[in-house]
Amino acid sequence: MSALIKVKGLTRIFDVSKPWLNRVIERLPKALLTAVSDVSFEVEENSVYALVGESGSGKSTIGKIVVGLVPPSQGSVMINDVDLATETDAAKVEAVRADIQMIFQDPYASLNPRWRVREIIAEPVAAKGGNTTGLAERLLEQVGLSAADAVKYPHEFSGGQRQRICIARALASEPKVIVCDEPTSALDVSVQAQVLNLMSDLREEFGLTYLFISHDLTVVQHMADRIGVLYLGRLVEEAPRDILFEDPKHPYTRMLFDAAPRMDGFGREVDPPKGEIPDAINPPKGCAFHPRCPIAVERCSRERPEMRDVRGARVACHLAE
């Protein structure tokens, strides 16, 4: 398989400083938050690549950069060998943008409450002057709803049904890539399973490629072919799903697995994770995880580890062996 998405050296820095006058009066320097730091990975066509990590690890920022909502500060995102941030050929950019859609975390917040479902679903096609006759009704039935629902408004549906509407809207423009930003985290567990199974079926039917963003390891195990683990904006481990779950190599990945609830975990005793995720405005030197790492050595506090191959995975840890 060829790589449909190529992310190389991706960095995104946000200026979160106070207004200029406040900084002059209080004699404060600029405050720069590094949300994503030198991240590289590839997503193969018709596969599911998952990004996991704690809140604030940079997952959603990477998703927004991939779809073009946020420009990168450094590095590049190539989709079908086109970089949306630097490409000057408008026709190429337009063609690639048509191949990308996004499903957001909160389905109600991403649906216009004043529009009927028919208008919401057909909008990506109507914006380009395409034929929308019967489109919404057909897509609603494909995602497990009724064609009669096309005349309703978003508030008339449950959370799971709204997320199905969001999926139908994403499918309307016949994309190749869908970025899924925590698409089931706002839903009940039973509804989560229905939506995830629907997404898996649609992937097979339409040959879709998913960049799947989640903090739920159970969901990731069900959906992903390959997984990247993020910590404080840095990719610390990347591996095929089965290898990652059978043999996690980075201490942070093992910490995530230990903290996750398990069906066979009744009565087990696990030490709680040490410390809190550091401040992204002033991250630790060396390995970002070393203040919380149970196996850290002096080298970890001064030298940032590079990603390297270890037993079928890529790991950024000096002590991965």
Going along the chain from its start, the domains and CATH numbers come out as: 3-99+175-259+271-315 (3.40.50.300)
Looking at residue 49, its pLDDT comes to: 96
Kindly calculate the radius of gyration of the chain based on its CA atoms and give it in whole angstroms. 21
What are the 10-residue block averages of pLDDT along the chain, 321 residues in total? 88 94 93 94 94 91 93 93 86 88 88 94 89 92 92 93 93 93 84 89 92 90 94 94 94 87 66 76 91 90 92 90 79
SS3 243: helix
Measured from the Cβ of residue 34, the count of other Cβ atoms closer than 10 Å reads: 20
How many angstroms separate the Cα of 115 from the Cα of each of 111, 146, 164? 8, 18, 16
Looking at residue 150, its pLDDT comes to: 94
How far is it, in rounded angstroms, from Cα 321 to Cα 317? Answer: 9
Looking at residue 264, its pLDDT comes to: 66
Q: What is the DSSP letter of 173?
A: T
Cβ(179)–Cβ(101) below 8 Å: yes
Looking at residue 268, its pLDDT comes to: 65
The model's pTM is 0.91
Phi, psi at 220, each rounded to 5°: -65, -40
Looking at residue 209, its pLDDT comes to: 95
Cβ(84)–Cβ(97) below 8 Å: yes
Q: At a CB cut-off of 8 Å and minimum separation 6, what does 261 contact?
A: none
In DSSP terms, 50 is beta-bridged to 212, 227
Phi, psi at 158, each rounded to 5°: -80, 175
Give, for 226, the enclosing helix (H) or strand (E): strand 226-231
Beta 32-44 vs 313-315: how paired, if at all?
A: unpaired
